[in-house]
Structure 1
Amino acid sequence: MTTRPLRFGLIGTGRIGQVHARSIAADPDTTLSWVCDPFIAGAEAVSERFGGAVTDDASEVFASGDVDAVLIASPTATHVDLIAAAIEAGIPALCEKPIDLDISRVDSLLPLVRSSGVPVALGFNRRFDPAFASVQSRVAAGEIGALEQLTIVSRDPAAPPAAYVAVSGGIFRDMTIHDLDMARFFLPEIVEVTAVGSALFDDGAREHGDFDSAVTTLRASSGATVTIINSRHSAVGYDQRLEAFGAEGSLQVANAPTSLVSLSTATVVEGKPPYQNFFLERYAEAYAAELRAFVRLVRGESSTSPTFEDGRAALILADAAQRSAEERVSVAVDLG
């Protein structure tokens, strides 16, 4: 593999595509060679900011001969076909989560992924957050003894538009799936899922039969448990916390503040501003680190990029959580 900067084709120029375009342009080891979106105006706008030839046809990217990797940030329904096209072209792919909303489509692609030898990675960027990654490595090193309980809190600042909820696959496949992957980052062998959900405040969730609040409990093969607390709104900002509890201690990740300044007066002590209010702020470093890990994977170096199998496992857990919440049962899972 060449040591020059890797040439990327970006497919999809919505909000998350623009995040990835910025990361590719900022990294000295990557360059944006192609920008693709059926809505050509979006591709043109990204190209004007970050470079790259423009097309509305992904097949042109795969056939161009001047891309070393593709980053798939298009709508979920397109992911399976685009991953397959990348593999057929022999081009490594980093794909945003989820792989698909239908596990049967994911499973139909699995043999090709496994047999091709073409690197395919999934965009679970939170594994690369410096704080979460530090806790995981310290747990793995035995600093707090055997992990017994993992608690993950993830609350968005505000509910998404109803039109988004309609095509998202629901809270478990859209939002909780990040936390399900984080759970497996610590405890890969999950064997049981129990979830409860409510529609407490969001009309879009009610309209489309979804939940805006959920609590999911996972049981690992070791007996350790994971509790995931989700909400589609949070008055205090983007609420992203984690605690790992073990036999010899615990490790915590607090929320990221917008300021390190606090106020103390006769009426308030250590008054602070709200937390960061958007995932782009909270996980900016994680997106950059995710890209660097994928570059190492493409170059054949040691890499911690989440795999296609990781994406499949997260979707299996999300499907189990959906079933558990709907049927009010615990669901045994086999991630093999």
Structure 2
Amino acid sequence: MDLLSGAVTPPTGGPVPVVLIGAGKVAHAAHLRELRDLRHVLRLVAVVENDPVHLAAVRAGGFPDAAVCGSPEEAVRAGARAALVCTPWWTHREVVGACLEAGLPVLCEKPVSLDLAEIDQLLAAEERAGVPVAAGYMKRHDPVVARFIDHCRAELPRARRFEIDIHDPNAPHQVAHLLPYPPQPFGPQPPAAERALRRALGAAAGSVQREAYARGLGGSLIHQVNIVHAVLAGSGLRLDGRLLHADQWADGAGIGVRWRPDRMLLIDATHLRVPEHRRYRETLEFTAETSVATLGLPSPYARDESATLTVETWDARGAQSERRTYTAEPGRTGFRQQLLAWAASLSGEPGPGPAGPPGLPGLLEVREDARVMREAALRLA
């Protein structure tokens, strides 16, 4: 067994003052508890949030001195130098755009947007502002996931199948123990989200397609499509335009998508909402000619569990095989490692990455992922 520390070098110039915009579920279930532990690299100086219950929870949760602001501009006056955006996705064009106008680099929760036109607007705003938008693909920062991606890239010329299988409760009990207030029940999309989905998919799309795009595809599988795109980067293979079919079953609770980037490789992805399950389960399996890599991921909100990667290789001629298992220290979650990488980028620390802040996926990846998910949504019957 190979224990991965996943350590990221913290910035050397002192903690970066940041504003949290949106103090809802993902902020409390993930980001705020990490920020409490990462005060040496990120300092929460302001919050933009209009719900008094959510604000009170921020103050009681360890940030009593954070200024309450009504806009990114006010947050800048309060000392913020970067913005962590955790508002609903259909608000991101306006919120992220306002941050860029205020000169704030942004880390935006996924999906940054499901509307290609909005993403193009954000790309233009990013170029005008000269400060970057990083996408909240926190799984990419898990050291075990990074090892899986590296293995898949190395074996891609011999790849035959890439399978993704998610069992997701997607229910209040999944995060209830992490929130300081009762979680919202699972229900229909808010009117503002419905309007945004209609714009994103077009008038011809039906309710099943909009719901699938908002949740199973754009709300979940877009993470894994980003991982697939990271594997395929630079190979000439692509998912866009290679869709074989997209299905939904169980009254829309199950979504399945299949692509064939070339004649040798098949990619299958499924998301199944099963609220009766008490645990989230995610498995990615990459099969090549002489190896199989299996990645198991716990709930993204789990801190006491870590990803596990098993790589099996064999030599048929010598009848020899090898099986290696990799994991990481508890607490080395994707959310934590993402915030550390973001802090390092804000402080000018060097890091890998072809686009966006160093080591962080940017808006170009967001656009590619959304285009592929949109194509799948429109293919659903």
The TM tier, using the shorter chain, reads 0.7 to 0.9
Q: Is the 8 A contact 1:195 1:321 kept in 2?
A: yes
Q: Which residue of 2 aligns with 1:197?
A: 247
SS at match of 2:380: helix
Q: Distance in 1 between matches of 2:149 and 2:359?
A: 13
Partner of residue 118, structure 1: 131
* Aligned AA (1:280): Y
Point out which structure has higher relative CO (alpha carbons under 8 A, 6+ apart): 2
Conserved 8 A contact 2:92-2:113 = yes
Helix, strand or coil at the partner of 2:301: helix
State the distance in 1 between where 2:337 and 2:362 align: 16
Q: Distance in 2 between matches of 1:30 and 1:54?
A: 15
For residues 225 and 144 of structure 1, what CA distance do their matches in structure 2 show? Answer: 12
Cα distance in 1 for partners of 2:344, 2:160 equals 33
Q: Which residue is 2:146 aligned to?
A: 133
Percent identity, aligned pairs only? 22
Match for residue 44 of structure 2?
32
Letter in structure 2 aligned against 1:90? G
Measured in 2, the distance between the counterparts of 1:99 and 1:4 equals: 28
Q: 1:144–1:247: 8 Å Cα contact kept in structure 2? A: no
Maintained 8 Å contact 2:162/2:284: yes
- Matches of 2:155 and 2:118, distance apart in 1: 40
Post-superposition CA distance 1:22-60 (Å, at most 9, x none): 212211211111122121331232123131424251235
Matched to 1:82, the amino acid is V
2:265 corresponds to which of 206, 221, 224: 224
Q: 1:96 to 1:10 in 2, by over 3 A?
A: same
Distance 2:166 2:142 in 1: 14
User: Deviation per CA, 1:106-155, whole angstroms, max 9, x where unpaired?
Assistant: 22222222343302100011112232221112233x26863332111112
Matching residue of 1:286: 334
Matched, 1:20 2:65: no
Map 1:108-257; keep pairs closer than 5 Å.
108-140=121-153, 142=154, 146-158=158-170, 161-165=185-189, 167=193, 169-188=214-233, 189-191=238-240, 192-200=242-250, 211-220=252-261, 224-233=265-274, 235=277, 237-254=279-296, 256=298
Q: TM-score, normalised by structure 1?
A: 0.79
Deviation, 1:93, is 0.3
SS at match of 2:111: coil
Residues 280 and 88 of structure 1: is their aligned pair in 2 closer, same or farther, counting only changes over 3 Å?
Answer: same
- TM-score w.r.t. the length of structure 2 is 0.70
User: Do the aligned partners of residues 245 and 309 (structure 1) sit closer, same or farther apart at CA in structure 2, a change above 3 Å counting?
Assistant: same
User: Conserved in 1, the CA contact under 8 Å of 2:73 and 2:102?
Assistant: no
Query: How many Å separate the matches in 2 of 1:255 and 1:121?
Result: 23
Gaps of 5+ in 1: 201-205, 257-277, 327-336
- Greater shift, 113-122 or 59-68, is seen at 59-68
Displacement, 1:96? 0.6
Q: Compared with structure 1, are the counterparts of its residues 81 and 93 closer, same or farther at alpha carbon in structure 2 (3 Å cutoff)?
A: same
Deviates more, 1:56-65 or 1:234-243: 56-65
1:81 is the counterpart of 2:94: yes
Using the alignment, how far apart are the partners of 1:116 and 1:135 within structure 2? 35
Give per-residue Cα distances to partners, 1:243-301, cap 9 Å, x unaligned: 11223312111355xxxxxxxxxxxxxxxxxxxxx431167611001111111222232
Distance across 2 between alignment mates of 1:98 and 1:317: 13
Residue 58 of structure 2 corresponds to residue 46 of structure 1:
yes
Letter paired with 1:23: E
Amino acid at match of 1:224: L
Q: Is the 8 A contact 1:157 1:239 kept in 2?
A: no
The letter for the 2-side match of 1:296 is: A
Which of the residues 70, 76, 81 maps onto 2:83? 70
- Distance, in Å, in 2 between the alignment partners of 1:73 and 1:315 is 18
Give the gaps of 5 or more residues in structure 2.
1-10, 173-184, 194-210, 307-330, 352-357
Q: Say whether the 8 Å CA contact 2:81–2:105 is kept in structure 1.
A: yes
1:100 is paired with a residue whose SS is coil
Q: Distance in 2 between matches of 1:54 and 1:62?
A: 8
How far does the alpha carbon of each residue in 1:280-333 deviate from its partner, in whole angstroms, 9 at most, with x for none?
Answer: 11676110011111112222321321111111211111111101113xxxxxxx
- Report if aligned partners of 1:190, 1:221 keep a CA contact under 8 Å in 2: no
SS in 2 for 1:280: coil
Q: Report the alpha carbon displacement of residue 6 of structure 1 after superposing the two structures with TM.
A: 0.7
Which AA in structure 1 matches 2:253? Answer: D
SS at match of 2:131: coil
Match of 1:316 in 2: 371
